């Protein structure tokens, strides 16, 4: 999952800084929420989430080999997956 915001150069330093803070805040929320919604058996998948933020974009990812199965609902702890419920939660915070 990656969200990229472009076309904000030249809109003013204050607005650009505010946008960068908002992007970082959303990235932090996606990261924390995805971790909290990840089912735990050994803790490997939950601990494998990483977050990378640059100027106007961020990436939150998990590279455990079985993350696709968890996302497909293979766990009783997260039958609706991880990313969908995470984005629903985040979307409600940033209306």
Q: List the beta bridge partners of residue 17.
A: none
What are the domain boundaries of the chain? Answer: 2-93
**How many other CB atoms sit within 10 Å of the CB of residue 31?**
20
Whether the pLDDT of residue 8 is over 60: the answer is no
Per DSSP, 83 falls in state H
| 68 token code pair | 């696709």
Give the Cα separation of 13 and 11 in Å (integer): 7
| 13 token code pair | 């330093």
pLDDT at 76: 96
Give the Cα separation of 60 and 86 in Å (integer): 12
Q: Render pLDDT for 27-77 as a digit per residue (tens, 0 to 9).
A: 999 999 999 999 999 999 999 999 998 877 899 999 999 999 999 999 999
Give this prediction's pTM: 0.80
């Amino acid at each position: 999952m990656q969200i990229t915001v472009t076309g904000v150069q030249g809109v003013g330093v204050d607005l650009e800084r505010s946008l960068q803070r908002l992007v970082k805040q959303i990235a932090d929320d996606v990261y924390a929420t995805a971790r909290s919604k990840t089912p735990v058996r050994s803790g490997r998948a939950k601990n494998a989430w990483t977050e990378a933020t640059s100027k106007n974009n961020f990436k939150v990812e998990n590279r455990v080999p079985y993350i696709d199965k968890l996302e497909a609902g293979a766990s009783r702890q997260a039958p609706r997956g991880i990313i969908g419920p995470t984005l629903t939660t985040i979307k409600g915070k940033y209306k």
